[in-house]
Amino acid sequence: MSEKVLSIDKTTVQMLDKAKKDGVETAWDRKEILKASCGFGLAGVCCRNCTMGPCRVSPVPGKGAERGICGATADVIVSRNFARMVAAGAAAHADHGRSIVLELLHTSPDGAIKVKDEKKLKKVASRFGIETEGKDVYDIAHELAQAGLNDFGRQYGSITLPPTVPAKRKETWEKLGIVPRGFDREVVAIMHSTHVGCMADAEEMLRMSMRCALADGWLGSYMATELSDIMFGTPHSRPTEASLGVLEDNQVNIVLHGHEPSLSEMIVQAAEMPEMIELAKSQGADGINLCGMCCTANEATMRHGVKLAGNFMQQELAVITGAVEALVVDVQCIMPALAKLATNYHTKFITTSPKAHITGSTHIEMDEEKPLETAVGIVKEAIMNFKNRDKSKVVIPNVKTKAEVGYSTEEILNKLDGVVNSQIGPMQSAKPLADVIVAGVIRGAAGVVGCNNPKTVHDEGHLEVIKGLIKNDIIVVVTGCAAQAAAKAGLLTKEAKELCGPGLKKVCELVDIPPVLHMGSCVDISRILELVGTTANHLGVDISDLPVVGIAPEYMSEKAISIGTYVVSSGIDTWLGVVPPVTGGPAVVDFLTNKIEEWVGAKFFVEPDPHKTVEQIVERINEKRKKIGI
């Protein structure tokens, strides 16, 4: 029997082999064990919102049960399920954003967390109407945090939208009534309206989802990014390495996994302490090797060049190498399977957040008052675990790839300054980017984002889409697990320009950048919004006029659903490589892939084939170019 290809990443295949030998199970095995998914769930026509149910209605109109016990139709059920996915995704980002805002509230000049980027602090503060002239930096910081918190819990009016939102876009949102009020309120509103006997109109349900998602993109994620930069520094381009091969043979390997940068920042600081390095040496190691997974990795690599061990589907594989002393996690996308898996190796699986306890883990809670001390404690645990490593069980794949990371919006503008003629100017503007797009030297821009999903061949969707796009002179920015796929494949290097079409290649040479720019973690998709909004404003058009697209080739999380929804609502066409559970609701499908365009000038495309995805994108981008005469 020929084995199905699970991943195009060599280290993954190698580690899956080892998993088999070691007799441990991975997500891929569990997917097998679960057999075919339930067709009702897949189509989104199963409802368990009250105890009269669960109800499952027929995904085929006119056949079988058409309504749930309460009378909810397939479309209503699908739209409610979809809305709850959006709410959950948005809530994850909201809570992430909230804890970052709270950290800013607690910054102090002699605390572990300080204000690192004053310029950005002042910029964001003035956006919130906070006076900055002659004021103490920390007073500004605290005032800003307060303003941010207000928007999270706002009960009246609407959130403070950044000036990056083009006027026309704002008008559209206002007309549709989808300018978010408070962030938490939008999540609560969805939970309310999806309750039995409440909203029973698919289109209205989706409108609410759009409003909630916008609060994610333009407030929750936005604040998380902006304030993380303020406290931990705005990323600048720097080199790093990627792939499971970044684990070191004779070092204490600590893998950071999860999402919030505060944990990783503290651990980076702790691991650099001379006494920690000494301690590691006293245990027979050559040093401490910090690596990252998922979005925490992205945060730490953007700011410190921390190496990228892998993406979502590889988290178990890191443990399976047998070389990880500690797998330190906080929140989101952490497979609970890690707890059991870790017992097969010496790896300490350490949870740190009260928001994500995992049975079977070692819980060392991050003490908000003493974050650095907590981090030191965690690093010590890892070091003291080094002696327990069973060398006979260690296999570290012999693969690592160079990558360049750190492309914040600010860094991109800095790079663009390099091609601005000082006699013409202006500096620090999106004009050069807008110019090459208008001229047609590059055809458009694409954000490739999102997760891994065992329904697709691991990393294949990401890489095929990215390669196809850059070949067609479409510049690509990446975040999340897509970014790591790109990093591992060597696409985040300047040499990757050889894979580009002639225009993009030229631009990479002129600006001295890779064709694929790592813009950070999932919340950093707000950076993409910022860049696109800035470009639209520069050209005096709406975001939906620009030849810009978003793609989530292998997404899996509810966060990705929220992201996709706010990206479309912001006027950017979005391609999904995995079919979302909406196919049982014809009106919902029609809305998301068709009618929504009348509302916001963009829509969803669902296309599991990466090559077809590229074709569709090129076609759509050319259509948009034609429409605005470029």
Q: Which of 324, 128, 362 is closest to 227 using CA atoms?
A: 128
Q: Which does 522 bind (CB under 5 to 8 A by kind): other proteins, ligand SF4, none?
A: ligand SF4
Cα end-to-end distance, the chain, whole Å? 53
Question: What residues numbered 441-470 form the site for other proteins, per CB under 8 A?
Answer: 441, 443
Could you tell me the smallest distance in angstroms from the CB atom of residue 466 to other proteins? 19
- In order, the DSSP letters of 402-463 are EEEE---HHHHHHHHHTTS-TTT--SSSSHHHHHHHHHTSS-EEEEE-----TTS-BTHHHH
The site string for ligand SF4 over 292-331 (x = CB under 6 A, - otherwise) reads --xx----------------x-------------------
Residue 134 or 502: the one with the smaller Cβ distance to other proteins is 502
Give the type of residue at 243.
Answer: S
CB of 510 to other proteins, least distance (A): 6
Indicate which of other proteins, ligand SF4, none lies near residue 629 (CB less than 5 to 8 Å, by partner kind). other proteins
Q: Tell me the closest approach of the beta carbon of residue 297 to ligand SF4, in angstroms.
A: 9
DSSP 2: P
Contact between 49 and ligand SF4 by CB under 6 A: the answer reads yes
Residue number with the shortest CB distance to ligand SF4?
53
DSSP annotation of 326: E
- Select the binding partner of residue 419 from ligand SF4, other proteins, none (C-beta < 5 to 8 A, by kind): other proteins
Pick from 55, 395, 405, 477 the residue near ligand SF4 by CB under 6 A.
55
Task: Supply φ then ψ for residue 307, to 5 degrees.
Answer: -70, 150
- Does position 629 interact with other proteins (CB under 8 A)? The reply is yes
Question: Given candidates 403, 451, 466, 536, which one binds ligand SF4 under the rule CB under 6 A?
Answer: 451
Binding mask 350-389 for other proteins (x = CB under 8 A): ----------------------------------------
Residue 170, phi then psi, degrees to nearest 5: -60, -45
432 counts as binding ligand SF4 under rule CB under 6 A: no
What minimum distance in Å lies between the beta carbon of 598 and ligand SF4?
29
Q: Counting contacts by CB under 8 A, is residue 436 touching other proteins?
A: yes
3-state secondary structure of 174: helix
Q: Residue 577 binds what, of other proteins, ligand SF4, none (CB under 5 to 8 Å, by partner type)?
A: none
Q: How far is the CB of 582 from ligand SF4 (least distance, A)?
A: 16
Tell me if 502 contacts other proteins by CB under 8 A: yes
Judge contact between 251 and 286, C-beta under 8 A: yes
Distances (CA, A) of 54 to 72, 88, 283: 12, 20, 56
Out of other proteins, ligand SF4, none, what residue 253 binds, judged by CB under 5 to 8 A for its kind, is none
Written as six digits, the tokens of 537 are 């404003």
What are 345's two structure tokens? 């190796």
Per-residue binding string, ligand SF4, 505-544, x by CB under 6 A, is -----------------x----------------------
Q: Choose between 77 and 329: whose C-beta lies nearer to ligand SF4.
A: 77
Q: Smallest distance, Å, CB 396 to ligand SF4?
A: 23
Nearest of 7, 12, 15, 9 to residue 395 by alpha carbon: 15
438 binding ligand SF4? (CB under 6 A): no
134 binds other proteins (CB under 8 A): no
Among 42, 137, 196, 499, binds ligand SF4 (CB under 6 A): 196
Q: Which is nearer to ligand SF4, 330 or 473 (CB)?
A: 330
Binding mask 46-75 for other proteins (x = CB under 8 A): ------------------------------
User: CA 80 to CA 609: how far, in whole Å?
Assistant: 28
**Size of site (CB under 8 A) for other proteins:** 26
Residue with smaller CB distance to ligand SF4, 397 or 553: 553
The SS3 of residue 527 is helix
Asked if 438 is part of the footprint of other proteins (rule: CB under 8 A), the reply reads yes
Closest to 399 (Cα-Cα) out of 481, 294, 310, 515: 310
Q: Does 630 bind other proteins (CB under 8 A)?
A: yes
State the DSSP code for 3.
P
Task: Write down the least CB distance from residue 518 to ligand SF4, Å.
Answer: 13
Binding partner selected for residue 439 from other proteins, ligand SF4, none, CB under the kind-specific 5 to 8 Å limit: other proteins
Distance in angstroms (rounded) separating the CA atoms of residues 346 and 359: 17
CA Rg value for the chain = 24
Between 446 and 481, CB nearer to ligand SF4:
481
Contact 231, 97 (CB under 8 A): no
Does 69 bind ligand SF4 (CB under 6 A)? Our answer is yes
Minimal distance, residue 261 CB to ligand SF4, in Å = 13
* Nearest by Cα to 193 from 175, 179, 205: 205
The pair phi, psi for residue 575, each rounded to 5°, is -100, 135
Contact 255, 318 (CB under 8 A): yes
CA 41: distance to chain centroid? 25
Q: Tokens 């300047």 sit at which residue? A: 494
Contacts of 187 (CB under 8 A, 6+ apart): 87, 90, 91, 94, 212, 215
Regarding 47 and contact with ligand SF4 (CB under 6 A), the answer is yes
Give me 505's structure tokens. Answer: 């290649």
What residues form DSSP beta bridges with 73?
A: 67
Beta strands 252-257 and 288-293: pairing type?
parallel
AA identity, residue 436: V
Question: By the 8 A CB rule, do 220 and 97 touch?
Answer: yes
Which residues make up the interface to ligand SF4 (CB under 6 A)? Answer: 47-50, 52-55, 68-70, 72, 77, 196, 294-295, 312, 333, 450-451, 480-481, 522, 557, 559-560
Which residues make up the interface to other proteins (CB under 8 A)? Answer: 416, 419-424, 432, 435-436, 438-441, 443, 473, 501-503, 506, 510-511, 622, 625, 629-630
